[in-house]
Structure 1
Amino acid sequence: MKYLGVIIGQGRQTLSPIFQQAALDALRLDIVYEGWPTTPDGLVTRVKGMRSASVLGGNVTIPHKEPVIPLMDEIDGPAAQIGAVNTIVNRDGRLVGCNTDVEGFLRALREDGGFDAAGKQAIVVGAGGSARAVVLGLAQAGAARVSVINRTLTRAQALAGDLQPLAVHTVIEAFPASDETWSSAAVDSVLLVSCVPGSDETAALIPPSALHNRMLIYDIAYSAHESPLIEAARQRGAATLDGLPMLVYQGAASFKLWTGSEPPLDIMFDAARTGLARQLEGASP
């Protein structure tokens, strides 16, 4: 028996164990995928346990994507560029930190959002690890300009400064979350990606007046309930995309790194949607 799991913050929820286990079972692999709630103080011990021969690796999610980096023996290119690890692969006791978020984001954008970013202007809200993956992905896809809007301007500036050298054809600019910023940035932008965790925070940062019907509004968060941002976008006549496809696609890329096998995407999506439906049932009065 081999093991995989997701290192997740205490009290947080994730669908990863549901759809990853469904894929493992479909391929009849003798592997168990678990949830590993971990406190910041317990991260070192958790990662040390992943060196066991019985552990193939795991996923990493908020708030551990950045703190886990110094605990790795090796970091792949995307993880180094983004400054965040979302996948760990155990190679004979050596832990390799990887990042599949860029791949997951771009695949969802193209296949589920039907959006080609080449030559387009986009807004990215947030400046954390997920936002870094999104901005790098947009640069790789050839976006003309990416405006990074964040409540703390210095974090947005740091993101832009780190990623601009990697963006050959894309201008990356940082802006504070102000009315003036939104009125200017939204006019010519046809994609808005929210990388802000928590629907209340997102609603506070993004005014409905910034949304228009030429935009694709992409909220990378996923929830059993439609987010306020997605709801507002629909009311403004904008196309929308939530974070479930990105979650599954990045998980599928991780699956291939661990097992060497092509993941059954249809089974992963079915399991993820079923898991969301159960969350919705559990939240009902």
Structure 2
Amino acid sequence: MKKWFAVIGDPIAQSMSPTMHEAWLQQNEVDASYIPIHVPRGTVEEAVRSLKTLGCSGWNVTVPHKEAIIPYLDEIDPLAEAMQAVNTVVVKEGRLHGYNTDGVGFVASLRETFPEVEADAEILIVGAGGAAKGISYALCRDGFRNMTIANRTYETAEQLSDQLNASAMTLSEAEQQLAQFDIIVQTTSVGMVHSQEGSPLDVSRLKRGTIVADIIYNPLQTELMKQAKALGGKTMNGIGMFVHQGAIAFQHWLDIQPDTEQMTARIRQQLGGNSC
């Protein structure tokens, strides 16, 4: 039977995952399809049951279902378990295995873009939601030791920092101490197309040469990135993270390493530019 894969979310029309995975399936001559499926909030259990019954070989999970899907899986990878978030499901012999490839995808993109980064770099994570959790856990697992979580609500930052043995501060405190950080990772939706405009952080105290990574990729350059670049910062958007997390999912499903370099260039062109 022909294999098929999917991505589920609410909303789902904006997802670029079908474009990416369909291209990889064709490039690797895999007789399979990848489709987007709109799964409204509160209907994850029914969706999982239907996907399994209809013979889906695996699927990606996007907002708002990354946590809600966990009770309906048979096994969860230790990293996804620690994060309490799943973005990739693999069907093996009728059992559903959950993984989270988001954070690992970010680390792969960071190391690819800035191979000079060292494990003792001082890292500021802006935000304390699901994306921040995935990235911070993956950075810890990759050997990065010095991390600070900054969030508008201090208690939320403190909860995540306690889990990671990291530091916590408010956004205003982070802005005052910005010069101490070597890498800043922006994980909120501020600056995203169709979301809140502007920048989540005042970077006027940014030191020259600081890496500023924004996981948003539409637009290609957020206001935060523009401001950081004007002050001598090195910037990176979220295209690499998106492509690498997808590539890791593709490997889980098919044991094939897809071409991430070509896909990154393709998505950047599709979004209308070359900015990073």
TM-score (normalizing by structure 2)? 0.90
In 2, Cα distance between the equivalents of 1:116 and 1:36? 38
**Where does 1:151-162 land on structure 2 (aligned, <5 Å)?**
151-162=152-163
In 2, Cα distance between the equivalents of 1:65 and 1:240? 28
Residue type of the alignment partner of 1:137: A
Contact 1:53-1:93 at 8 Å conserved across structures = no
Q: Which runs of 5+ in 1 are unaligned?
A: 165-171, 279-285
Residue type of the alignment partner of 2:204: S
Contact 1:75-1:97 at 8 Å conserved across structures = yes
> Match of 1:238?
233
> Cα distance, 1:271 vs. partner?
3.6
Contact 1:22-1:267 at 8 Å conserved across structures = no
> Match of 1:211?
206
> Match of 1:123?
124
> Cα distance, 1:225 vs. partner?
4.1
TM-score (normalizing by structure 1)? 0.87
> In the TM superposition, what whole-angstrom CA distance separates every residue of 1:139-182 from its partner, at most 9, and x where no partner exists?
23333421101112222111112233xxxxxxx1111222x332
Contact 1:196-1:202 at 8 Å conserved across structures = no
**Where does 1:157-196 land on structure 2 (aligned, <5 Å)?**
157-164=158-165, 172-178=166-172, 180-184=173-177, 186-196=178-188
Residue type of the alignment partner of 1:72: L
In 2, Cα distance between the equivalents of 1:194 and 1:149? 10
> Match of 2:64?
63
In 1, Cα distance between the equivalents of 2:143 and 2:72? 33
Report SS of the residue matched to 1:208: coil
Q: Which runs of 5+ in 2 are unaligned?
A: none
In 2, Cα distance between the equivalents of 1:68 and 1:28? 31
Contact 1:255-1:261 at 8 Å conserved across structures = yes
> In the TM superposition, what whole-angstrom CA distance separates every residue of 1:71-117 from its partner, at most 9, and x where no partner exists?
21110111011111110111122111101123211110111133424
Contact 1:19-1:269 at 8 Å conserved across structures = no
In 2, Cα distance between the equivalents of 1:175 and 1:12? 36
**Where does 1:25-40 land on structure 2 (aligned, <5 Å)?**
25-40=26-41
Provide the aligned length of Structure 1 versus Structure 2.
269
> In the TM superposition, what whole-angstrom CA distance separates every residue of 1:56-83 from its partner, at most 9, and x where no partner exists?
1111112211111112111011101111
In 2, Cα distance between the equivalents of 1:266 and 1:20? 14
1:140 paired with 2:135, answer: no
Q: Sequence identity of aligned pairs in percent?
A: 31
Contact 2:101-2:249 at 8 Å conserved across structures = yes
Cα 1:145–1:270 change in 2 (3 A) is closer
Report SS of the residue matched to 2:71: helix
Contact 2:190-2:199 at 8 Å conserved across structures = no
**Where does 1:193-272 land on structure 2 (aligned, <5 Å)?**
193-199=185-191, 201=196, 203-272=198-267
Contact 2:126-2:151 at 8 Å conserved across structures = yes
In 1, Cα distance between the equivalents of 2:253 and 2:221? 32
In 2, Cα distance between the equivalents of 1:210 and 1:62? 33
Cα 1:188–1:208 change in 2 (3 A) is closer
Moved over 6 A (4+): none
- What's the RMSD between the two structures over aligned residues? 2.0
In 1, Cα distance between the equivalents of 2:118 and 2:15? 28
- Specify which structure has the bigger relative contact order, considering alpha-carbon pairs within 8 angstroms and separated by 6 or more residues: 1
In 1, Cα distance between the equivalents of 2:234 and 2:60? 30
In 2, Cα distance between the equivalents of 1:39 and 1:271? 30
> Match of 2:101?
100
